[in-house]
Amino acid sequence: MSAPITLHQLTEQLEALESEAAAAIEAAASTAALEDLRVGLLGKKGRLSGVLGAMGKLPGDERPLVGQRANVLKEQVQSLLAGRLGALETAAMAAKIARETIDVTAPASFVPAGHRHPLISTTEEIVDIFAGLGYRVSEGPEIETDYYNFTALNIPPHHPARDMQDTFYLEDGRLLRTHTSPVQIRYLETNPPPVRIVAPGRVYRRDAVDATHSPMFHQVEVLAIDEGLDFSHLRGTVMAFLKAFFGDLPVRFRASYFPFTEPSAEVDVQWRGRWLEVMGCGMVDPAVLEGMGLDPERWSGFAAGLGVERFCMVRHGIDDIRRLFTSDLRFLEQF
Ligand code: DAH
């Protein structure tokens, strides 16, 4: 058995505990370190318990001296722990607030809002006007067959109209469509009359680029088939459309020729003192109707095709078609 413990020794242990505890608590850098200290000092197997355990070996009259002192120490340590815990929590909160400070003077992150290309918004405007007249939108492929682009539109292989619309051919004989008129045929193949559609889209021609020509441009096709439609319906529709788009400008119809309409006309509007051609149109040729299995004695209709670039350029006063395709933001940001 070890040597009997003395009051003096236990008193010294308590004093040592007191000064060490104060220093260690003050130095604790985290709440976790503080909890470790609490367990080591005041826990069941902690140092204070050790002293109290040894106390039982003292003579009876000496025990209260150690017990009182130990109780005082326990309270001191508890209050030091609580004080340090409060200080650590306050510091943590202060650091968190400092980290989360918002610098209201910092430049905002800014994503500029995009907007539609002027050709897209012009197309939408045109389509919207026809939608208001009861037309639905239909679309067709940009890569077409000879049949839809020419033959079914009453343009047989050696027809001179083909020279005016030279295009780009694929090796398999298909071609880039030269106009949106083939959508008339595609739609009529699957939809019985009455029909009222507009067909917007890209078209292609083998043209050299200049201020008014581009090998790729946009059209909107119009087609109406019903019983009893005649040229006055065509004219009324075109006039209503042009008035909605341009306002009250002088309009004239000029006799013209297209293989798929009879009679045919070109339409001009007077703009800044001169006549500008804006669209082709006409009554659907009976040969086209017959080709679609429709009896021309019963069904009749009209069609029109307009160039979106022309409408866009007139609307915005754009002098050169190439500006619409060069993606120059200094130009595009104006719309
Ligand atoms: N497809 C013709 C072209 O691109 C334009 C056109 C003219 C379309 C008369 C029509 C029409 O539907 O009736 O030159």
pLDDT bucket at 261, cuts 50 / 70 / 90: very high
Q: Does the pLDDT value for residue 145 go beyond 90?
A: yes
**For position 83, what pLDDT does the model report?**
93
Q: Is 155 found in the same domain as 46?
A: no
Among 39, 68, 99, the domain-final residue is 99
Q: Does the pLDDT value for residue 137 go beyond 80?
A: yes
With respect to residue 295, please indicate whether it lies within any of the assigned structural domains.
yes
**For position 4, what pLDDT does the model report?**
74
Among 65, 99, 133, the domain-final residue is 99
Report the separation in Å between the CA atom of 280 and the middle of ligand 1, taken as the mean of its atom positions: 5
Q: Is 130 found in the same domain as 26?
A: no
Better-scored residue on pLDDT, 3 or 288: 288
Q: Is 49 found in the same domain as 143?
A: no
With respect to residue 108, please indicate whether it lies within any of the assigned structural domains.
no
Q: Does the pLDDT value for residue 1 go beyond 50?
A: no
Q: Is the CB of 281 under 6 A from ligand 1?
A: yes
Q: Is the CB of 303 under 6 A from ligand 1?
A: yes
With respect to residue 68, please indicate whether it lies within any of the assigned structural domains.
yes
For residues 200 and 308, the answer to whether their CB atoms sit within 8 Å is yes
Q: Is 158 found in the same domain as 92?
A: no
Pocket test of ligand 1: the residue of 164, 260, 267 to mutate, having most ligand atoms within 8 Å of its CB, is: 260
pLDDT bucket at 36, cuts 50 / 70 / 90: very high
Better-scored residue on pLDDT, 305 or 53: 305
**104-126 pLDDT, tens digit each:** 888 888 888 888 999 999 999 99
> Comparing C-alpha atoms, which of 283, 284, 270, 272 is closest to residue 242?
270
**194-213 pLDDT, tens digit each:** 999 999 999 999 989 999 89
Computed over every residue of the chain, the mean pLDDT equals 93
With respect to residue 193, please indicate whether it lies within any of the assigned structural domains.
yes
Q: Is the CB of 305 under 6 A from ligand 1?
A: yes
Q: Is 123 found in the same domain as 51?
A: no
The arithmetic mean of pLDDT across residues 9-31, rounded, is 89
pLDDT bucket at 257, cuts 50 / 70 / 90: very high
Among 99, 128, 162, the domain-final residue is 99
Q: Does the pLDDT value for residue 2 go beyond 80?
A: no
Q: Which atom of ligand 1 is nearest to the CA of 284?
A: 13
Q: Does the pLDDT value for residue 65 go beyond 90?
A: no
Helix (H) or strand (E) holding 63: helix 63-99
Task: Read off the amino acid at residue 83.
Answer: G
The arithmetic mean of pLDDT across residues 238-260, rounded, is 96
With respect to residue 109, please indicate whether it lies within any of the assigned structural domains.
no
Torsion over CA: 92, 94, 99, 102 (sign): positive
pLDDT bucket at 235, cuts 50 / 70 / 90: very high
For residues 52 and 70, the answer to whether their CB atoms sit within 8 Å is yes
Tokens 């043209």 belong to: 207
Q: Does the pLDDT value for residue 171 go beyond 60?
A: yes
The token pair at 22 is 């104060």
Q: Is 221 found in the same domain as 72?
A: no
Report the separation in Å between the CA atom of 87 and the middle of ligand 1, taken as the mean of its atom positions: 85
With respect to residue 1, please indicate whether it lies within any of the assigned structural domains.
no
**292-334 pLDDT, tens digit each:** 999 999 999 999 999 999 999 999 999 999 999 999 999 999 9
Q: State the Cα–Cα distance between residues 303 and 188, nearest whole angstrom.
A: 13
Q: Is 297 found in the same domain as 205?
A: yes
Q: Which atom of ligand 1 is nearest to the CA of 178?
A: 4
**For position 278, what pLDDT does the model report?**
93
Q: State the Cα–Cα distance between residues 330 and 213, nearest whole angstrom.
A: 22
Report the separation in Å between the CA atom of 316 and the middle of ligand 1, taken as the mean of its atom positions: 24
Among the ranges given (1-15, 60-74, 164-178, 256-270), the one the predictor scored with the smallest mean pLDDT: 1-15
Question: In b/e form, how buried is each residue of 104-114, taking b as 16+ CB within 10 angstroms?
Answer: eeeeeeeeeee
With respect to residue 56, please indicate whether it lies within any of the assigned structural domains.
yes
Tell me which residue range forms the domain holding 18. 7-99
